[in-house]
Amino acid sequence: MRNLKGASPTPKPSVAVPPADTGTGGPSITPQRSAGILRIDGIVVPLGLRVDRPTVLAAGADWASLSEVTAAISVCTACELFKTATRPVPGVGNPDADVMVVGEAPGEKEDLRGEPFVGPAGELLNKILGAIQLSRETVYICNVLKHRPPGNRNPMPDEVRACAPFLQRQIDLVQPKMILAFGTFAAQSLLGTKLAIGKLRQQIHWYQGIPLVATYHPAALLRNESWKRPTWEDVKLARRVLDATIRT
């Protein structure tokens, strides 16, 4: 990613969070497209989807700490993935992070090490984070799925549902100021939509009051270099929004 290394810091913007939905709907969620735009230091950014309640409610997911979430993941048999995976892949990083990185599912190297975003995709993620003045140590990193799907196939709906309580509780405990969703299934799972990643990027979405920016997965960038420039634009947007949230 040519523009990631040595990128100049992004000026700190000013952004206002749109008002929360005051509806009293039931537990199921249908994301709605927010009307309007945000202006960040003169830059117009479309508002995307907003989820005011979890897309899958985490009934009984009352773990008191991230270590308790990790312990629960280690013994989870809610779907069949535990039978084929080498080990669970919970989450790593700063438990008080301002930024939460959410990926899709563990790959082969993650499955072996029990840590998300390692290997070539992890190295690229490190460069992406570094380009916007972040690091693995300053963010919290996890995946939608906590076990590797066989052959790195796409996550199945029942697997996403089984892991949803873990992801939701990780978000609740970390309380990030920004969520950066890498990959189609990460964005779709959080936002409860079937829209492709190309339709979700370059917008500010809202997950339970937390701004969310979606972009391509680092593994996809290794396969298709033409997506590196769009990804750079997305993470620059994420940095602008993060700076605004920290400042306010």
Which tens digits make up the pLDDT trace of 193-232? 999 999 999 999 999 999 999 999 999 999 999 999 999 9
Rounded CA-CA distance 4/6 in Å is: 6
**Which pTM was predicted?**
0.84
pLDDT computed for residue 246 by the predictor:
74
Phi, psi of 154 (to 5 degrees): -65, 150
pLDDT value at position 134? 98
pLDDT value of position 42: 63
| Burial of 89: CB neighbours in 10 Å, binned 0-12, 13-18, 19+ | buried
For the residues of 165-181, what is the DSSP string, one character each? HHHHHHHHHH--SEEEE
Best CA proximity match to 244, nearest among 152, 169, 178: 178
Residue 245: per-residue pLDDT: 81
**What pLDDT score was predicted for residue 148?**
96
Nearest to 205 by CA among 11, 55, 92: 55
> Helix or strand or coil: residue 69?
helix
Amino acid 114: pLDDT: 96
Taking Cα atoms as reference points, which of 212, 182, 162, 205 lies closest to residue 103? 182
Residues of the chain with pLDDT under 50: 1-35, 57
**What are the structural domains of the chain?**
32-247 (3.40.470.10)
Question: Tens digits of per-residue pLDDT, 90-116?
Answer: 999 999 999 999 999 999 999 999 999
Give the list of residues 6+ apart from residue 123 with CB closer than 8 angstroms, or none: none
**Closest alpha carbon to 217 in 241, 201, 203, 193:** 201
Smallest CA-to-CA distance from 163 within 82, 217, 237 is with 82
Q: How far apart are CA 246 and CA 248, in angstroms?
A: 6
pLDDT for position 37: 65
pLDDT score, position 54: 65
